[in-house]
Amino acid sequence: MFKKIAYFTLALAFVPLALGWVSVPVQASVEIGEAAPNFTATDIHGNDFNLEDHKGKIVVLEWTNHLCPFVKKHYDTSNMQNTQKTATDNGVVWVSIVSSAEGNQGYVSAEEAIAIEEKAGTHATTRILDASGEIGKLYAAKTTPHMFVISTEGNVTYAGAIDSNPSPSPDAVKGATNLVLAALDDLSAGRVVKVSRTAPYGCSVKY
């Protein structure tokens, strides 16, 4: 019995050798069509979120800052909530991320974040506070809003603006093409995402 355990342990120990684990090339940042960098975090409700756990589902990352005029534009017109609802109704995991550092605009406690979500009537799956900016920098998130769409295989398929009209004016929502919904449509129809990279617009992320 003990011998068996000992052999098993020894065999197990050689697995990394066989897999060539030790040789890992050095890599760079987020690219369209490449694997979305994994991250783990605790959401505002205290639940663990691990991106890898959601493979098999489409994941949307939304960088947000409730005080940014561009974010307000999309929330006050319910454009963001409607987009979230359409997405999550179709099984998409929607993650809102706040990368504002402590002391900067948009930095909130978990309680405050819950209140903000309730007030806005969000349909996001969860919200993560990233005050260290670690996740933001992992994705090179530049603006609020800045959107990322990750395919069921875990690859980044869209990165950029929420829609095609970069304006702080609420009137600009009408008539603009919702680029996130367009990407989700492409994905659910099994097509390659046509517009996969756009210039994100909005306030800078307050790292």
Partner 1 sequence: MHRKIIYFLVLFMGLISQSITPVYADEELERYAEATIIAERTAIHPADEITLAIDIKLAPHWHVYWKNPGDSGLPVRIKWDIPEGFEIGEIQWPTPDKISYDILVNYGYYNQAVLLQTLKTPDTLPEGKITLTATVNMLVCNDICIPETSTVSIDLNNPDDLETDNSALIQGAYSKIAKPINGAFLYSENEKILHLSLTPEDRTLLNEATAENLEFFPLDWGIINHLAMPNVQIEDGVITIKHERGDQALADIKELKGLLVIKGEQGRNKGFAITALPDKSATTPTVTINKNNGDTAPVTKNVRTSKTTWFSALYLALFGGIILNLMPCVFPILSMKALSLVKMNDKENKAARTHGLAYTLGVVLSFLAIGGILLILKEAGTVVGWGFQLQNPMIVGILAYLLFVIGLNLIGFFEFKSNFGNVGNKLTQGHSLSSSFFTGTLATIVATPCTAPFMGAAMGFALTQPAFVSMSIFAMLGFGLALPYLVLSYVPQFRRILPKPGAWMDVFKQFLSFPIFASSIWLIWVLSQQSGSYGVLLVLLGMLAIAFCVWLSHLKSKGIARRLTSTLFVLCMFLPIFSLSYIKDTHQNASSSQKAYSFGEPFSPEKLSELLEGDAPIFVEMTAAWCITCKVNHAIAINIDSTKALFKDNNVRYLIGDWTSNDDTITQYLQAFGRNGVPIYVFYGKRDTNIGKRPEAELLPQVLTAATLQKTIAK
Q: Where does this chain bind partner 1 (CB under 8 A)?
A: 2-3, 6, 13, 16, 20-29, 37-39, 66-70, 104-105, 111-112, 114-116, 118-119, 133-134, 137-138, 140, 142-143, 159-160, 166-169, 197, 199-207
Q: Which residues pair with 50 in a beta bridge?
A: 40
Q: In whole angstroms, how close is the CB of 91 to partner 1 at the nearest point?
A: 25
Q: In whole angstroms, how close is the CB of 54 to partner 1 at the nearest point?
A: 15
170: which 2 tokens?
């609420």
Q: Return the number of the residue (86 or 114) whose C-beta is nearest partner 1.
A: 114
132: which 2 tokens?
């260290």
Q: Return the number of the residue (86 or 182) whose C-beta is nearest partner 1.
A: 182
Q: In whole angstroms, how close is the CB of 114 to partner 1 at the nearest point?
A: 8
Any idea what the Cα angle at residue 138 is, between residues 45 and 136, rounded to 5°?
50
Q: Which residue has the tokens 């670690």?
A: 134
Collapsing DSSP states into helix, strand and coil, what is residue 33? coil
Q: In whole angstroms, how close is the CB of 148 to partner 1 at the nearest point?
A: 12
Q: In whole angstroms, how close is the CB of 178 to partner 1 at the nearest point?
A: 19
Q: Return the number of the residue (37 or 54) whose C-beta is nearest partner 1.
A: 37
The whole-angstrom separation of Cα 65 and Cα 55 is: 27
179: which 2 tokens?
């680029």
Q: Return the number of the residue (30 or 86) whose C-beta is nearest partner 1.
A: 30
Q: Return the number of the residue (69 or 77) whose C-beta is nearest partner 1.
A: 69
The whole-angstrom separation of Cα 64 and Cα 146 is: 8
Q: What's phi and psi for 175, nearest 5 deg?
A: 85, -15
106: which 2 tokens?
């948009």
